[in-house]
Amino acid sequence: MLTEAQVTQFQNQGFLVVDDVIPAPVLDAVRAEYSDLLDKLYESWQTEGRVPDGTDMDFWDKLSASYAAGCDWFQPMDISLPGGEIDAHCPMHFGPAIFDLVVQSRLLDIVECLLGPEITSNPIQHVRIKPPSPQLAADEVRAHITSTDWHQDRGVGHEDADTTDMVTAWVAITDGTVENGCLQVVPGIDDGLLPHCPQVQTAIAPAHLDTSSAVPLPVNAGGVVLFHPLVSHASLPNRSDRFRWSFDLRYNVTGQPTGRDHFPSFAARSRAAPETELRDWRVWRDVWFAARDRLAAKSHIPIHRWDADSPVCA
C-alpha cells in the first residue's frame, strides 16, 4: 500500500521509489529459477564447445563466460518476444517464480493505489541483467544489457495506448546503485509524448530533453521504482565490478490498449471479477508461446512508431 503522500509524489513527479516491496522468498525463488535456466543454457553451450568448463562457476561466472563467448542469454531469459523479426524457435522464459513476482500481491497493492482495482499485466516487460561496463562488447547497444538512453515509456508502445492508464514497476533483484547503473529520472510528468528516434536505441530526439535536473534512483534489492509513462528516464552505466539485475514490469487498467496488443496480456487483479485473474503460470507461458507461433507465421509488426528519417532525428 502507498501513503497519500506517496501517491501525491507520484502524481506530481511521475516517479516513486518504494523499498522492501518484494518478499525475500519471492526474490530468492526468482534467483534460483534463473540459475537453473542458466545452468541448462550453459550446459548446451559447453556441449557445443562454445564455452569453457562451468563446473566451478557460479551464476555470475557463467553469465560472464557465455557473454564473452558470444552466447546470448538475454533472449532465452527474457519474459517477452523480441521487437525484431519473430522466429518460430525464439526462446523466452516463463516459470512459476517469475510469474509469482509479476502477480505479487504487495506489488499489485501498490499498483492498485495508482491505477485502481482492475489491473492488467502489460506485455511490455523485460529482464535486464547488465554486466560491468568493461565486460561489454565494443558494439553492445542493447538497452537490456548496456545503459539505457533517455526515453518515456509511452514512446515504446503503439499510438493506440497513448491515453492508456499505465504504470511501470522496475523491480530490483540486485541492489541498484549509482555505481552499478541504477535508473535516473528528470522529475516531472512531461506535457505529452516527446519525439523519439530509432537510433542506437529508441530514445528521445536530440535536444528535446534537458537532463540538467536528472536525479539517480538507487534502490535496494526487493525495492521498486514506479514510473508514469510520460516521465523521462534512463539508466546510468554499470561502473561496478558486478552485474546489475532488474525486471521492468508494466500494468495498465484492464480493457485499455496495452501498446503491444499483438503480445499477450492478462488480468493480474480484478476486484470486480476475481475469477478472471490468471493464477496459473503455465497458462501465461502457453499464451506467449502461442503468440510466438502466430506471429512467426505473419509479417513483422514493428513495436515502435518512430521514423529515423524524421527531421527531428537528423
Ligand X SMILES: O=C(O)CCC(=O)C(=O)O
Q: Which residues contact ligand X by CB under 6 A?
A: 128, 143, 148, 153, 168, 170, 227, 233, 235, 246, 248
**Nearer Cβ to ligand X, position 42 or 222?**
222
Closer of 100 and 153 to Fe ion (Cβ): 153
- Tell me the chain's radius of gyration from C-alpha atoms: 19
Contacts 24+ apart (CB under 8 A), 211-215: 211/150, 211/186, 213/186, 213/187, 214/184, 214/185, 214/186, 215/184, 215/185, 215/187
Chain position carrying cell 501498446: 259
Q: How far is the CB of 89 from Fe ion (least distance, A)?
A: 28
Of the two residues 78 and 153, which places its CB atom closer to Fe ion in the complex?
A: 153
Contact of residue 238 among Fe ion, ligand X, none (CB under 5-8 Å per partner type): none
Q: How far is the CB of 48 from Fe ion (least distance, A)?
A: 35
Smaller CB distance to Fe ion: residue 132 or 157?
A: 157
What is the nearest approach in angstroms of Fe ion to the Cβ of residue 140? 18
Judged by beta carbon distances under 5 to 8 A according to partner kind, the member of ligand X, Fe ion, none in contact with residue 246 is ligand X
**Binding partner of residue 235 among ligand X, Fe ion, none, CB cut-off 5 to 8 Å per kind:** ligand X
Q: How far is the CB of 156 from Fe ion (least distance, A)?
A: 7
Nearest distance in Å: CB 265, ligand X: 17
78 sits near Fe ion (criterion: CB under 5 A): no
Interactions with Fe ion, residue window 124-153 (CB under 5 A)? 153
Name the residue whose CB lies closest to Fe ion.
153
User: Cell numbers of 16, please?
Assistant: 516513486
Kindly state the smallest distance separating residue 97's Cβ from ligand X, in Å.
20
Nearer to ligand X, 227 or 284 (CB): 227
Residues 33-72 that bind Fe ion (CB under 5 A): none
> Residue numbers of the site for Fe ion (CB under 5 A)?
153
